[in-house]
Amino acid sequence: MTEGTGAGGMSELGTAERGAEAKAPLPDRVSEAPDTGHEPEAPEEPEAPDGPEQPDDLVEPEEPGEPELERAFLGDAFSKLRDTLVGPREPAEGPVDRYAVVERPDFNAMKIPDFDVSLFEYGKPLERPDGQRTPLFDGSPRREQTEQGKLGDCGVIATMGAVATHFPEAISECVKENEDGTYEVTLHQVEKKYSGGLTQCEPNGAVTVLTITPDLVVQYDQPGKPAYGRAGAEPVAWPSVLEKAFAGVDQTWEEDLSDKASGYERLDKGTRPSHRAEMLTQLTGRPAYTEDIPTQYDMNGVSPDRQLLSMFREKLDAGCPILIGTRKIGKDEGPLPKGLVDGHVYEVTGVDERGLIQLRNPHNLNHPTLTAKELRANSRPDFTTMG
């Protein structure tokens, strides 16, 4: 699901080079580091206004509707491996297990040349001042332990949170801690099928094993806390480690795609419904797919609102995650209702007896509740689920 493996062109502020950046006293006017995850709008798209409470990092990319777009994120990353990496266990015919080391994926350092300062840099926030390390888990993984930081990867964080709640054992089995201080993340390789603009993802029987170093991106003035995906108020490491694994997937590519975004910069571009279906299968080893949101009465005379509520209830009762993306707002359009953030990904967590749909914001705050009509009017035309 990446567009490349080389440094991205993230404005004149540039992309961080590996290694520590020189520091200087941070001037007052930049002491509060800005959010870095905003996705540049396509030329034909109006620019969405900034909300007063939410960071400007939540834009979800438009879906052209062709299989070609799938190369924009994790896509075929798990079917290819650089020749310089450790070879597969099996013969080359058919799916094979892959291996790679993820050290320091590219990110936007937000450099300020006049002050010789980078607002973001690599550090080791999982190492505590008392010499101990942040534990990988504290009981069973939960969605509340995932929180979007200063990166526009709401779809990644929402998907991780949904899997943590519906399939916590998948997270526990996916992420391990090694004796040498690194981590091991095992992701299922995915085979995709396309039909009528929808995507179906299935495991192909092979896995990709990524060794993750403990280096994480931190904010200049908060070196003890991950700047991107984190665990909120709970001291566990798995959300940051798993997010870094997704950022590092492009290290398994063999093509020269150096003119494309890679690493965290790739995640910062957002996800589409098909990407989130792929991540669900990568994490769980189970089929996932995208589905259209109903727009018309069906052949039995059931309204689209009732169809949607029935679909959501059926999936949640079966323990299946549901992920939806909100639409973008126009230049002269007001904000979306109920505090919805435009171009953002939410997890559907429940449908109550009144038919109200409960959503979870991966920022771990401002979780809206909508009617089926409100959700249909303000979301993308398709959603992601499993089954």
- Answer for the pair 133, 253: CB distance below 8 angstroms, yes or no: no
- Bridge partners of residue 214, in order along the sequence: none
Comparing CA positions, the residue from 21, 48, 1 lying closest to residue 332 is: 48
Judged on CB neighbours under 10 Å (0-12, 13-18, 19+), 382 is buried
Angstrom distance (rounded) from CA 176 to CA 171: 9
Backbone angles phi, psi at 327, to 5 degrees: -80, 165
Where b means 16+ CB within 10 Å and e means fewer, 319-339 reads ebbbbbbbbbbeeeeeebeeb
Q: What tokens appear for 197 in the block?
A: 């603009």
> What pLDDT, on a 0 to 100 scale, did the predictor assign at position 2?
35
Task: Mark out the alpha helices in the chain (DSSP H runs).
Answer: 154-166, 168-174, 238-247, 263-267, 273-284, 304-317, 372-378
- Bridge partners of residue 111, in order along the sequence: 118
Looking at residue 6, the DSSP 8-state letter turns out to be: S
> What pLDDT, on a 0 to 100 scale, did the predictor assign at position 232?
76
* Cα within 13 Å of Cα(216), Cβ side: 31
User: pLDDT in tens for each of the 387 residues of the chain?
Assistant: 433 333 332 222 223 333 333 334 444 433 333 333 333 343 343 444 444 444 444 444 544 433 333 333 333 333 333 333 334 444 456 889 999 999 999 999 999 988 888 999 999 999 988 889 999 999 999 999 999 999 999 999 999 999 999 999 999 999 999 999 999 999 999 999 999 889 999 999 999 999 999 999 999 999 999 999 998 777 899 999 999 999 998 866 554 444 578 999 999 999 999 999 999 999 999 999 999 999 999 999 999 999 999 999 999 999 999 999 999 999 899 999 999 999 999 999 999 999 999 999 999 999 999 999 999 999 999 999 998
> What pLDDT, on a 0 to 100 scale, did the predictor assign at position 253?
57
Looking at residue 310, the DSSP 8-state letter turns out to be: H
**Following CA atoms 38, 42, 47, 48 in sequence, which dihedral angle do they give, to the nearest 10 degrees?**
-60
> What pLDDT, on a 0 to 100 scale, did the predictor assign at position 145?
96
> What pLDDT, on a 0 to 100 scale, did the predictor assign at position 250?
80
DSSP per-residue codes, 85-148: SPPPSS-SSS---EEEEE--------EEGGGTEESEEEE-TTB-TTS-B--S-SSS--GGG-B-
- Answer for the pair 216, 226: CB distance below 8 angstroms, yes or no: yes
> What pLDDT, on a 0 to 100 scale, did the predictor assign at position 367?
97
* Cα within 13 Å of Cα(270), Cβ side: 23
Q: What is the pTM of this model?
A: 0.78
